[in-house]
Amino acid sequence: MKLGAPAKPRQVLEDLAGTEATGALHIGGASPGLLHLVGGRVEHASSVKVPGVGDLLTLSGRLPDSVWQAAVEEGGNDARVGELLVGQGHLTEGELQLCVLSVVHDAAYFVLGDEPVQVRFESDRRHWLGPVAAVDTGTVLTEVDRRARLLAEIADEPRLDTGPVTPTPRLRRDRIRLTALQWELIVHADGRATPTDLARRLGRAGYACLQAVRGLFADGLVRVPGTGAAIRTAPVPPPEPQVAVEALIAGGAVPKEVPRSVPIVAPRPPSDPPEKTVELPHAGEASASRGFRLPRRKPAKPRGDAEPAVPPDEALLHRLRTALRGMT
């Protein structure tokens, strides 16, 4: 089906919602997709960038692929796929609704861009899954904007969304914490697959993968694709070395990194009180000073009530070792 003249998908969707239209809105552009409307509300959505309802259910292991295919073959022509899955006990109604709503918001984020693209509306075309849930157009657009803001807050680097996921070869910290999705993305990253490629491969929501990759970038675990540049995180001015060491000894937090250009100088130990000045005899006075003796320091008297040696603080030693390792 050919698409019509270029227009902004958001504006077209709002116009259709105002007339309570029912049908399928075909959207072209870099992220083509389809929105199904019933009475001006979004009932289903799809995009080439994200997995659909069947992908989420089967790739996650919630439904066997044979069960899904059988329901599509039996009820696809008369829009009863969802009804069959719930009626036969394969899914609860709530599970199916949550899955459909997740796909609607996921696909809408990718297809409802601000740039004009080719669009076309096909009246009275219903989705083969059947009526499950519907969302107001205003709610869909508000969620699209919220998700865009959230990505920018995590890391304002849009190139991460369209380029291959590229892990950094060396970490800048001793310990990291990953979500289950971030771990899957790191494990399956091959230098070619984009976040949405991995989303379809793993049966994960496309936007969730964008969010996870932005988080990995903010933590220094992936690079900007094609640049080879290290991750740029918000600079935190390190404390002065002397202050950092004193805070560490006092039980404070270990600084993440100490600049190599500033050497750490240990505090100078307090000097002993000066001894009496003793003048050594000159060479010609050797015979006269044959009985000369250097003064000896008297040993301290042993204390009967001396406290036993305190064992070393293992936690303190561990913090010191971690701090010193970060200086190298």
Any idea how long the chain is? 328
Which pair of structure tokens corresponds to residue 67?
A: 């069960």
**pLDDT for the residue 233:** 44
pLDDT tens digits along 228-258:
554 444 443 444 444 443 443 344 444 444 4
**pLDDT for the residue 235:** 44
Alpha-carbon span 255 to 325, nearest angstrom: 11
197 class by beta-carbon count within 10 Å (0-12 exposed, 13-18 middle, 19+ buried) = middle
**Three-state secondary structure readout of the chain:** CCCCCEECHHHHHHHHHHCCCCEEEEECCCCCEEEEEECCEEEEEEECCCCCHHHHHHHCCCCCHHHHHHHHHHHCCCCCHHHHHHHCCCCCHHHHHHHHHHHHHHHHHHHCCCCCEEEEEEECCCCCCCCCCCECHHHHHHHHHHHHHHHHHHCCCCHHHHCCCEECCCCCCCCCCCCHHHHHHHHHCCCCCCHHHHHHHHCCCHHHHHHHHHHHHHCCCEECCCCCCCCCCCCCCCCCHHHHHHHHHCCCCCCCCCCCCCCCCCCCCCCCCCCCCCCCCCHHHCCCCCCCCCCCCCCCCCCCCCCCCCCCCHHHHHHHHHHHHHHC
Alpha-carbon span 217 to 230, nearest angstrom: 10
- Please provide residue 34's backbone torsions phi and psi, each rounded to the nearest 5 degrees: -150, 135
Q: What are the residue ranges in the chain where pLDDT is below 50?
A: 1-2, 230-265, 277-278, 280-281, 283-289, 292
Which pair of structure tokens corresponds to residue 281?
A: 């005899």
**pLDDT for the residue 247:** 40
Domain boundaries, the chain: 6-146, 159-223
**pLDDT for the residue 18:** 95
Alpha-carbon span 44 to 34, nearest angstrom: 8
**pLDDT for the residue 303:** 56
- With contact defined as beta carbons under 8 Å apart, do 289 and 281 qualify? yes
**pLDDT for the residue 317:** 67
